[in-house]
Amino acid sequence: MWLSEIMLQQTQVTTVIPYFERFTRQFPTLPALARADSDEVMALWSGLGYYARARNLLATARLCLEQHAGDLPDSPEALEALPGIGRSTANAIVAQAHDRRAVILDGNVKRVMARHAAIEGWPGQTAVARRLWQAAEERTPDIHARDYTQAIMDLGATLCRRSQPRCQDCPVASDCQGRIQAMLDQLPGKRPKRARPTQHTHMLLIRDSKQRVLLEKRPPSGIWGGLWCLPMSETPPAEPIARDTLPAMIHQFSHFSLHIQPLLIDQTAWNAPAWQISEADNQAWISLDEALSRGLPRPVQRLLQSLQPEET
């Protein structure tokens, strides 16, 4: 359940299900995950986004193997000290795994609290978050911690949906202040609008005479950390390198948009010594099939898939 809590942060249940199934098949226990290679973990996470979660998951599993005999600790404080586990996730683990009272406030529950207690304002603001925690605290019973936690998460996911909440089926509709005061179209409050900056990059899709592509592993932190990526360059390689310009793509990160101009470059056509590839430790020539089995950012995955021969 710890795994599902992490996967469901910022991602919808329907998207998570196939990833969750693959993950638990490959790593049925926490020690099995702790012993995994980071490339294997990133490959299984590939396409799910927010890759820091995968890195934290592996780091947490390793810490638990070293410090907690291969189990998750059972106190909220010890859980919160692990990478990627915040207050709500730690409390959800305590409530669900140990049936002890612990207050949760994940994304769905924030929405329920904002509506049920009619708390206005964007939940990302500290003062609003404090009121939401307070509302969650007041509504969490002293008994049946596991059942309540599951029920309030399910209520948020199935009835108190982002749009068109199903109030007619809701068991707490009779005292839902947001519904009674006809405020549901304002709750929860929206994030204040901010222009999202755009960054530009060229992605170099370089193939050698064996049709292998040059991939490089990103540093462990930062965007796409730990994933295999095509070399990127703010400026395109200078002529006379032969290259084909492929259709541009835009990839949205939470805080900026990345405009990607892919260039298909045939390494055998490279004559200019300045552009001879010097392979760094983090780079490798990899066949297309193998490249597609690695942990790749979504735009790289799409580009490489576009190079695959069409099936007849």
* CA separation, residue 110 to residues 3, 133, 160, 177 (Å): 21, 8, 10, 15
> From its phi and psi, is residue 14 left (phi > 0), alpha (psi between -120 and 50) or beta?
alpha
If the CB atoms of residues 73 and 156 are measured against ligand SF4, the closer one turns out to be 156
Cα atoms in the 13 Å half-sphere on the side-chain side of 280:
7
For the segment 154-173, give every residue that binds ligand SF4 (CB under 6 A): 159-160, 165-167, 170, 172-173
Among 102, 103, 112, 157, binds ligand SF4 (CB under 6 A): 112
Q: CA 36, 42, 47 angle in degrees (round to 5)?
A: 145
Closer to ligand SF4 by CB, 22 or 162: give it. 162
Q: Which of 102, 103, 176, 227 binds ligand SF4 (CB under 6 A)?
A: 176
Q: Mark residues 180-219: x for contact with ligand SF4 by CB under 6 A, - for none.
A: ----x-----------------------------------
Does position 178 bind ligand SF4 by CB under 6 A?
A: yes
3-state secondary structure of 112: helix
Nearest distance from C-beta of residue 12 to ligand SF4, angstroms? 18
- Give CA 232 to chain center in angstroms: 22
Contact 150, 141 (CB under 8 A): no
SS3 assignment, position 232: strand
5 given a catalytic annotation? yes
**Which 115-144 positions form the footprint of ligand SF4 (CB under 6 A)?**
115-116
Whichever of 81 and 172 has its CB closer to ligand SF4, that residue is 172
Q: How far is the CB of 115 from ligand SF4 (least distance, A)?
A: 4
Spatial separation of the C-alpha atoms in residues 137 and 30, rounded to whole Å: 31
**Residue 179 or 217 with smaller CB distance to ligand SF4:** 179
Residue 111 Cβ vs ligand SF4, minimum distance, rounded to whole Å: 8
- Burial 113-142, CB ≥16 within 10 A → b, else e: bbbbbbbebebeeeebbebbbebbeebbee
* Nearest distance, CB of residue 176 and ligand SF4, angstroms: 3
User: What's the closest the beta carbon of residue 216 comes to ligand SF4, in angstroms?
Assistant: 47
Active site residues: 5
Which parts of this chain interact with ligand SF4 (CB under 6 A)?
112, 115-116, 159-160, 165-167, 170, 172-173, 176, 178-179, 184
